[in-house]
Amino acid sequence: MNETVIVFDVETTGLSPQKDQIIEIGAVKLALEEGLWKEIDAFESYAFASNVPAIVSSIHHITVEDLVNAPKLFEMERQFCEFIDICGTPLVAHNAKFDIAFIESAFSFEIPQEKRFCTLTLARALYPEQKNHKLQYLQYALNLPMPPSRAERVAAHTALADARLTSHLFRRIWKDSRASSLEDLKNFKATESLPDDTNSSGEIERMPWGKHKGRLFVDIPKDYFQWLLSQDWTSEHPDLMDAVRAFLKGPF
């Protein structure tokens, strides 16, 4: 039987899986055929929400008006769970910890570790020479497939478009890691001592989200941290803000 994976992306009303909500999911199903991953199916859906903060809309450009006629979250849940075969199929995402945390919180089931693949983590190991490992950066740095015109590329920031872009990155990682099975990729991940957002002491040292997602604190302009600390909504993320203050060596 051919191996398959689901590459997905979520858009949300905020950063907290416990307090915020998924408002869009995009996903593509890939099948391994004769050594090549081919897209065989796709999923895309909004979910209704009564409020989307302006700061969040400025990132993904989804507004309440876009969601007026969208299915309720529980309806999206049923459809998406069918698409991913309630996780019988491995899941792939860029910064998978974020997307999977929202899926697990919203849909109340746990995704086994062996079913998770993170292209951010793998890209950091495979391409350490890259200045950062944001999805949109790697799109250009690795010359991944993209829409031909600038207007199409600018308009392409949807969950499904990001899932497709992640699928292209996954294919590139597959090729460059010389994997021949998902088990090879999992073993590669396990043996490369791949970094996550924390150091060996469990302290956060990389931005887990936002415009500098995936970058080490030392590579981020300090005025960005000062801006973060001035925002009321960041108080909902005390561990990250404590790490930022410690990095800047003093409270603000």
Q: Where are the domains of the chain?
A: 4-195
**pLDDT at residue 250 in the model:** 46
Q: What is the pLDDT of residues 16-38, one digit of tens each?
A: 999 999 999 999 999 999 989 99
**pLDDT at residue 221 in the model:** 86
Average pLDDT over residues 128-153: 85
Average pLDDT over residues 205-234: 77
What is the sign of the dihedral through the CA atoms of 60, 63, 68 and 69? negative
> Residue 104 above 90 pLDDT?
yes
**pLDDT at residue 209 in the model:** 65
Average pLDDT over residues 56-77: 94
Q: Which CATH class is domain 4-195?
A: alpha beta
Per DSSP, the three-state class of 77 is: helix
> Residue 78 above 90 pLDDT?
yes
Using CB atoms within 10 A of its CB, is residue 188 exposed (0-12), middle (13-18) or buried (19+)? Answer: middle
**pLDDT at residue 227 in the model:** 81
Mean pLDDT of the chain: 85
The overall longest dimension of the chain from CA atoms, in Å, is: 57
**pLDDT at residue 219 in the model:** 83
**pLDDT at residue 201 in the model:** 43
What distance in Å separates the CA atoms of residue 28 and residue 186, rounded to the nearest whole number?
20
Per DSSP, the three-state class of 58 is: helix
157 annotated active-site: yes
pTM of the predicted protein model: 0.75
**pLDDT at residue 39 in the model:** 97
What distance in Å separates the CA atoms of residue 157 and residue 160, rounded to the nearest whole number?
8
Band of the pLDDT at 147, cuts 50, 70, 90?
A: confident
**pLDDT at residue 225 in the model:** 84
- Nearest CA to 72 out of 108, 39, 47 is that of 47
Average pLDDT over residues 165-172: 97
What distance in Å separates the CA atoms of residue 160 and residue 28, rounded to the nearest whole number?
8
- Nearest CA to 67 out of 106, 100, 22, 104 is that of 22
What distance in Å separates the CA atoms of residue 165 and residue 134, rounded to the nearest whole number?
12
Q: What is the pLDDT of residues 185-217, one digit of tens each?
A: 887 765 554 445 544 444 577 777 666 767 788
**pLDDT at residue 229 in the model:** 81
What distance in Å separates the CA atoms of residue 189 and residue 123, rounded to the nearest whole number?
10
Higher pLDDT, 205 or 101: 101
The one catalytic residue among 157, 168, 212, 237: 157
